Structure 1
Amino acid sequence: MCGPEIITDEVRKKIAAHAARFREVTRSPFGADDEIGMLNLLSPEAARRAVARADAGAAIDLSVDLFMGMPSWTKAGDPPFQQWMTHTPGGTVLDDLTGAGRVQNELVAYSGDAMSMYTHTGTHIDTLNHFGYRGEIWNGFSAEQHLSSRHWLKCGADKVPPIIGRGVLFDVAALHAVEMLPDNYGIGAADLQGCLQRQGVTFNPGDIALVRTGRMSQWPDPTRYIDNSPGLNLEGARWLAEAGASVIGGDNSALEQMPADDEENWQVVHTYLLGEAGVPMMELVDCQQLSADGLFEFAFVGACLKIRGATGAPMRPLAMPFTA
């Protein structure tokens, strides 16, 4: 039988979604100091099992390029991705900033560059301090006590461990036999259950869930990719969280259905997953090749930049097919 694996009472107690209260931040089942939520469900044993079965020679890159003009959250007032040269071979000869002299500078062709970006640009992870309720985030940490003038002191990207384990693709676009789900389509529990049935796989507590809407087929058109995106609705997010997902990723800009089907909460899935369920989120995860190859379970390996206190951080996740 395909679907979520039967959850024992012992494991159930570790899944915060089962103790969540509507629009209230949840205290972690892993203690008062916990800052990573359901990433605690990842285990060395599960990582070893996944990597032992993986074909590293056939790794699939699930990330997108970072480049000027790429889709980003400029409509929300956030800065676009910017990149500029700080050193060029010709400029180094003229500037001689190193003091090495013209002869050496003409020999040594020196190039260097810099960039600036919103931390939620490109393929990235949303950490548990990104959204919460009424000034509080996961585990009851508060802006009043835990937010400095520069960054959160709790639940930042620097606390996120390497994410290594079994990944499962929920190919919702393929389930409905479309290249891309309709604009603003809300992915619910029936869609996710239908994917597991169609694909012949199970979903286990601690697994990494990737949800494919097909929206990546519109990349990198800023308007078509971001606006009115299909994605998880609250029911779908709750189903995955209660099934024990350690982290949930999607191929769209915000993981969730946009705009949200909720008159009171414009980020209903973000606030639920991060504040109530303690499940970090990944966005702009390119699932196109996974779908084309019919790769529904795989070894997932990913790590984000350790930006202290950040609400999100770029990452470059990989999927490696299982050999057996």
Structure 2
Amino acid sequence: MVTSPTGSAPPPLSAAEFDALYRRLRRAGPAGRGALEEVTDRQVLAAVGEVRSGRTVTMAAPVETVPGPDNPEPSDHLMTGAVRGSIDPSGLEFARDRIAMNVHGDADSHIDALCHVVYDGTLYGGVPASTLTPGGATALSIDLARDGIVGRGVLLDVPRLRGVPWLEPGEHVSGEELRAAEAAQGVRVGRGDLLFVRVGHRRRRGELGSWNAAEARAGLHPTALEFLAERRVAVLGGDGNNDTAPSTTEGVAFPVHVLGVHAMGLHLLDYLQFEDLVPACEEAGRWSFLCVIAPLRLPTATGSPVNPLAIL
């Protein structure tokens, strides 16, 4: 772990410290739509004002079908009709295909539903874990976001703040660094914003090759979630898993997921890519944009592949 330009590296958390943090961040009241309730119609209308040029930029990585250290069970893409060697030169045919994928892997871009994290026998909002059935989730599935998530997106680029191309696996992003990135980029995260935090995972992977990200990756320190709670953020997305590995929280392997999804009701987006968006933001001279996130209509699923769009 390195020392950030704004202070000392955040410390490990004991089980008692994590429990106290969880209790401070836990969202009160019934489950509902979680933190998505922070996004009002008025805020969506205001977010439309972020569009200046009309340029659209994807924040998703291409779906991968080749095995790798971080993707031992890649998506399976199969052509099922009208392929070379079997196409009739006359008449009508249709090219067809199918795809099967592990939604919550360590390579493909995806969004986590609020039913994704089971902690101490419950889901977000105290919903019983028994709502997870062999046929799917009967509560808090990705269907909560069936109408899409639209709002003001903000990208905070931590490697840019540190003056490095990427954070090394195992390094943490603190809440202090998120504030420093705001100041350096001239942007402020507000209520109902869709916050994206770049650690440079995708750039490192592209330049150095894939590695076992389940064992080593950069991410947020659990205490950084206090920043999100203070600003009443609606969604959190990252180009890694959002959680650092290995975890330095006693007894909890994925503390950011537990705090974000289970305590705060945040939909998390994992393994996005910001290498297209960063230069677009630099060219535009701003780090906020209209953001559109449209999960698939999977009524009982625990998440969905996703292609978030930034409109500048």
TM (norm. structure 2) is: 0.83
Q: How does 1:192-271 map to 2 (within 5 A)?
A: 192-219=178-205, 221-223=209-211, 227-252=215-240, 254-271=241-258
Amino acid at match of 1:242: E
Q: Does the C-alpha gap of structure 1 residues 71 and 275 become closer, same or farther in structure 2, counting only changes over 3 Å?
A: farther
Would the alpha carbon gap of residues 140 and 223 (structure 1) be closer, same or farther in structure 2, given more than 3 Å must change? same
The question of whether the paired residues in 1 share the 8 Å contact of 2:78 and 2:97 is answered with: yes
After superposition, the C-alpha distances for 1:31-61 in whole angstroms (9 at most, x for unaligned) are 5361x20011111111111113314631111
TM-score (normalised: structure 1):
0.80
Residue 306 of structure 2: aligned partner: 315
Q: 1:218, 1:224 within 8 Å by CA — same for their partners in 2?
A: no
Cα distance in 1 between the residues matched to 2:113 and 2:50: 29
Is the contact between residue 132 and residue 274 of structure 1 (CA under 8 Å) also seen in structure 2? Answer: no
Counterpart of 1:80 in structure 2 is 74
**Residue type at the aligned position of 2:204:** Q
Alignment partners' CA distance in 2, 1:28 and 1:179: 35
TM-superposed CA distance for 1:209, in Å, is 0.5
Q: Give the aligned partner of residue 297 of structure 2.
A: 306
Q: How many positions carry a matched residue from both structures?
A: 285
Checking the alignment, whether the CA contact within 8 Å between 2:27 and 2:263 is kept in structure 1 is: no
Instruction: Using the TM superposition, give the Cα deviation of residue 120 of structure 1 relative to its aligned residue in structure 2, in angstroms.
Output: 2.3
Would the aligned equivalents of 2:249 and 2:255 in 1 still touch at CA under 8 Å? yes
Identity of aligned residues (%): 25
- Residues 51-130 of structure 1: matches in 2 within 5 Å? 51-55=48-52, 57-69=54-66, 74=71, 79-89=73-83, 106-121=90-105, 122-130=108-116
Contact 1:219 1:225 in 2 (8 A): no
CA–CA distance in structure 2, aligned partners of residues 24 and 132 of structure 1: 16
How far is 1:197 from its partner? 1.1
**Structure 1 residue 250: Cα displacement:** 0.5
Q: Is the 8 A contact 1:218 1:225 kept in 2?
A: no
- In structure 1, C-alpha distance between the alignment counterparts of 2:38 and 2:26, rounded to whole Å: 16
CA separation of 1:33/1:182 partners in 2, compared to 1, >3 Å: closer, same or farther?
Answer: closer
> Which amino acid is the alignment partner of residue 157 of structure 1?
I
Residue 183 of structure 2 aligns to a residue whose secondary structure is: helix
Instruction: Indicate the SS of the match to 1:288.
Output: coil
Partner of 1:43: 40
What is residue 16 of structure 2 aligned with on the other side? none
Say which one has the larger Rg.
Answer: 1
Shift of 1:152: 1.2
Say which SS state the counterpart of residue 49 (structure 1) adopts: helix
Provide the C-alpha distance between the structure 2 equivalents of 1:70 and 1:45, rounded to a whole number of angstroms. Answer: 44
Structure 1 residues 301 and 140 mapped into 2: Cα distance closer, same or farther (>3 Å)? same
1:148 & 1:25 partners in 2: Cα distance?
30
**More divergent stretch after superposition (184-193 vs 51-60):** 51-60
The code of the aligned residue for 2:143 comes to D
Secondary structure of the 2:237 match is: strand
Identify the match of residue 150 of structure 1 among 135, 139, 151: 135
Could you tell me how far 1:182 is from its partner in structure 2?
2.0
Q: Following TM superposition, by how much is the alpha carbon of 1:241 offset from its aligned partner in structure 2, in angstroms?
A: 2.6
Q: 1:112 to 1:162 in 2, by over 3 A?
A: same
Cα displacement (A) at 1:91: 7.1
Work out whether residues 25 and 139 of structure 1, in 8 Å CA contact, stay in contact via their aligned partners in 2.
Answer: no
Aligned to 1:201, the other structure's residue is in SS state coil
8 Å CA contact retained: 1:181, 1:230: yes
Range with bigger deviation, 80-89 or 105-114: 105-114
Q: Which amino acid aligns with 2:302?
A: T
Look up the equivalent residue of 2:48 and give its one-letter code: V
Aligned counterparts of 2:213 and 2:118: Cα–Cα separation in 1: 26
Instruction: Please give the secondary structure, in 1, of the residue aligned with 2:54.
Output: helix
CA distance in 1, matches of 2:288, 2:138: 35
Runs of 5+ unmatched residues, structure 2: 1-18
Aligned to 2:177: 191
Deviation at 1:287, TM superposition (A): 1.4
Supply the RMSD in Å over aligned alpha carbons.
2.5
Structure-2 residue corresponding to 1:96: none
